Structure 1
Amino acid sequence: MNQGAPLGVYDSGMGGLSVLAELRRALPHENFLYLGDTAHVPIGARPEDEIRDLTAQAVAALHARGAKGVVVACNTASAFSLTHLREKYPALPIIGLVPAVKPAVAATRTGVVGVLATPGTLRGTLLADVIRQFAEPAGVRVLTAVSAELVPLVEAGQAESGRTREVLRGALTPLAEAGADQLVLGCTHYPFLAAGIHSEFGDTFTLVDSGAAVARHTRRVLEERDLRSRVQEPGEVTYLVTGDAHVSAPVIATLTGQAGQNVTVQQVTT
């Protein structure tokens, strides 16, 4: 495998950009192929086999474009697809997400941890597994809040809108009232809601997500397989979407801190 090949990053939409930001900090000399399956977002309410099929198609598209590894930067896709993907691509490093329950359990002072999740993440096994592995032995209570509306709001570029804050109030107030002091962001779209959460709840919650940990793990995997880029120039990102590129471009620009700039986005089929 060529060390200079790009690293693929897949999400059902724009949420994986939060993971991409952490990957670029940890691996500044890597080139990235970011694929947002915006034609099918959100995927959380879809049947399990459809989630696996959509994820497999996206990974196949990244593999065909020469990706030396793929980060599945989507909690729902990770929950349903990692085993199948690793069986299909045994030579391709495939890295997924695990809800950040472990660090939240270690940090809580109240003994109550909240998880803001999507319907798909709650249906998968990964969240239940990490709760059973880390929270239950520590005697920590884990409460979940779910919303099917937050992902579409982020996708529409409304992460800080009044409607988004209204949805956050409804979803998170029960967790705050129950004493949760750590809030696990169980979807890669949710780090983009941090400002709204802090505005509504102040310092009630410490926000915990998987992005930085996934980036560190990805760096280790590339080093172990001798796949890290050897160039010294800053890496670049190629943005791919399955939906309308003209619609996605300004959202990507905003979420990546390039608002007002021309961001090139290519529409592809998977």
Structure 2
Amino acid sequence: MSSRYGRNESLIMLSASGPIGVFDSGVGGLSVLRHIRAQLPDEDLIYFADSGHAPYGSKSEAFVIDRSFRIADFLLSQKIKALVVACNTATAMAIHLLRDKYPDLPIVGVEPGLKPAAAKTITGIVGVMATERTLSSNKFHVLHQTLNDRTGVHFIMQPCPGMADLIEHAELDSEPIHALVRRYLTPLLEQKADTVVLGCTHYPFVRHVIEKIAAESGCPDLRIIDTGYAVARQLTHLLDIYAIRRGKTDCASAMQAYTSGDPKTIGHLIARLLQTTMPVAYISL
């Protein structure tokens, strides 16, 4: 492995007043950001949408690792006190390397959600909707095998090529997104899955489509696992451990977004997905 990914020798100074950095291959991580904002309303947040290189699910491992380090380095230059890898693919490919390089920095990743799904299923059959890259990662394979052996739950892996890309382009209610969700969800329902894991942070934004198609297919009580809440809860836990959680102040918390894509598009999506406005600046890294 290149020395680029070696341990960072300089000490990272963490301040309670510093912002929290969050990144994803695109806008999917906003589904995690909204949970962070809800649980930690007093914290300043910086979001990086790497939309110029989205989606990561179709990219090589080396590419995802390189982008993850470039973005982490940029966010550290903004004096962040914690990093959230709000992308399933980047978590699977790069988070262990980020933790090795930055041992002093609290880093939270997105877990696939298999464990809570195994606890919720009644039929013992769980569908996993994710990118091909996430499903093929060693981290995912080990977790899947461990839970399968321990619980006896049968996990059906469903790669969903194209879904994240449509969501990235704000197709949340279009006929193409309905067609893709139906294509990927139907085989899971036909195999009696009563629980579905959303294994990509983009997918919660089409949860309403998943629920609609499940109901039309005779499965109105489908359990859907979105791990954004758990990520925010773990982040809160780490901030408390490090004693860097920001207390209440008279100043309103601030949010700033950066993107390697088109700032206007990202700004529009933030307004639509989060019902708020946020300044967005372009940076290529």
TM-score tier by shorter-chain length is over 0.9
1:65 aligns with 2:65: no
Normalising to structure 2: TM-score of the pair? 0.91
Residue 99 of structure 1 corresponds to which residue in structure 2?
112
Q: How big is the shift at 1:257?
A: 2.0
Return the offset for 1:101: 0.6
Match of 2:40 among 27, 33, 58: 27
| Pairs within 5 Å for 1:140-155 | 140-155=153-168
SS of residue matched to 1:115: strand
Spell out, residue by residue over 1:77-126, the C-alpha distance to the aligned partner (whole angstroms, 9 max, x if none): 00000111111111111111110011110111001000000011112122
AA in 2 matched with 1:266? A
Tell me how large the CA RMSD over aligned residues is.
1.2
Aligned to 1:206: 223
Partner of 1:215: 232
Correspondent of 2:139 among 126, 139, 145: 126
Distance 1:138 1:120 in 2: 25
The correspondence for 1:192, drawn from 201, 205, 218, is 205
- Asked whether the equivalents of residues 101 and 135 of structure 1 are also in contact (C-alpha less than 8 Å), the reply is no
Equivalent residue for 1:15, pick from 28, 34, 50:
28
Structure 1 position 230, deviation (Å): 1.8
Encode CA deviations 1:40-65: one digit per residue, 9 max, x unaligned.
Answer: 00111211111100011011110011
2:274 corresponds to:
256
Give the secondary-structure state (helix, strand or coil) at the position aligned to 1:39.
helix
Hey, which bits of structure 1, 4+ residues long, moved more than 3 A? none
Is residue 227 of structure 1 aligned with residue 244 of structure 2?
A: yes
Which residue identity is paired with 1:256?
L
Confirm whether residue 240 of structure 1 aligns to residue 258 of structure 2.
Answer: yes
The answer as to whether partners of 2:255 and 2:279 remain within 8 angstroms in 1 is: no
Question: Does the alignment pair 1:176 with 2:189?
Answer: yes
Between stretches 188-197 and 84-93, larger displacement belongs to 84-93
Count of residues in Structure 1 that have an aligned counterpart in Structure 2: 267
1-structure distance, mates of 2:90, 2:190: 31
Structure 2 runs not aligned, ≥5 long: 1-13
Mapped partners of 1:16, 1:135: distance in 2: 28
What secondary structure does 1:238 align onto? strand
Quote the Cα distance in structure 2 between the aligned partners of 1:169 and 1:157. Answer: 18
Q: What does the per-residue CA deviation read over 1:122-181, in whole Å, with 9 as the maximum and x for residues that have no partner?
A: 121222222222233211100011122111111111122111010011111010000000
Matched residue, 1:5: 18
User: C-alpha separation between the residues in 1 aligned to 2:158 and 2:222?
Assistant: 14
Assess if the C-alpha contact under 8 Å between 1:68 and 1:93 holds in 2: yes
State the distance in 1 between where 2:253 and 2:148 align: 38
Task: Check conservation: 1:250, 1:263, Cα contact below 8 A.
Answer: no
Amino acid at match of 2:282: Q
What is the letter of the counterpart of residue 84 of structure 1?
L
TM-score (norm 1): 0.96
Deviation, structure 1 residue 204? 4.8
8 A Cα contact 2:256 2:278, kept in partner? no
> Identity across aligned pairs (percent)?
35
Deviation at 1:70, TM superposition (A): 0.5
